[in-house]
Amino acid sequence: MKVIDKRKDFKYSKRCLPRELQIVQKIDHNNIVRVYEIIEKEPFVCLVQEYAEKGDLLKRIRQTGRVIEPESRIFFRQILEALMYLKSIEVVHRDLKCENVLLDTCLNVKLADFGFARFMKPGDRSKTFCGSRAYLSPEIIRGRPYDGFLADIWSGGIVLYVMITGCMPYNDRNVRKMLEKQLQHRISFPRSILLSNEVKQLIFEILHPIPTKRPSLSEIVHSKWLINTEYRMRVAKPRSDSSSSSESNKPLKPESLPVNSPRT
């Protein structure tokens, strides 16, 4: 259950909350957290929603060090399916990050938290600065009017990078330097991790500083890295000893994710 105290953030309660409630009631997709009931009792709003037993994606990354590529393909394919559905109903998420990618008991993706979401028609632009800094596209950081669908694709690319490496591609403690690297299209990967050229190329293409040069959701699905990954929902099966933590990765500290700092 998600409980919102409207007294804590008047601006959000006035502007974003009504929109969030409208959107979550409209959504119906296997890879998006379902809201079963909305209970309003001033000053609280309670969303009775689907329970994600396995927590969020960031928790899983912290437990295993990173998510190996075969598992990442399944997770990312499901994230893309959720984003394609949202685009079909003209909704942008605007806060896509590992903490908002939940996992159910069968390790299916459940996209959550539509607090910054809004309806947006193709071609429209938004001026609202919102989202989580480390996942923001350069056009949002620069305060430019932006296409929310293309900004969501950028954030998805950051999620993919964090999944496969266990660290952040940019250091958001210094926004100026982070933006500089983004605009120069500089992306590096930890040398200690063996990654396929296909996934590195895909991330490079998604994290393009020019929004219109980013691949579409359909192009990502048909990329070399994902072309053979069929979309499916996992179902319950007998527990086995195998897990995505089979690689000898050092677990991350629970406080934060490291930033990839390549040698210069």
Distances (CA, A) of 147 to 10, 71, 80, 123, 138: 26, 30, 17, 7, 12
Q: Which residue among 28, 56, 95, 241 is the active-site one?
A: 95
Three-state SS string over 6-65 comes to CCCCHHHHHHHHHHHHHHHHHCCCCCECCEEEEEEECCEEEEEECCCCCCEHHHHHHHHC
The alpha carbon of 126 is separated from its chain's Cα centroid by a whole number of angstroms, namely 19
CB atoms within 10 A of CB 26: 10
Residues sharing a CB contact under 8 Å with residue 15, sequence separation 6 or more, in sequence order: none
CB atoms within 10 A of CB 82: 22
Residues sharing a CB contact under 8 Å with residue 261, sequence separation 6 or more, in sequence order: 171
- The count of residues in the chain is 264
Handedness of CA 225, 228, 231, 234 (dihedral sign): negative
The alpha carbon of 99 is separated from its chain's Cα centroid by a whole number of angstroms, namely 8
Q: Does residue 9 have an active-site annotation?
A: no
DSSP state of 146: B
**DSSP code string of 188-232:** ---TTS---HHHHHHHHHHT-SSGGGSPPHHHHHTSTTTTT----
Catalytic residues: 95
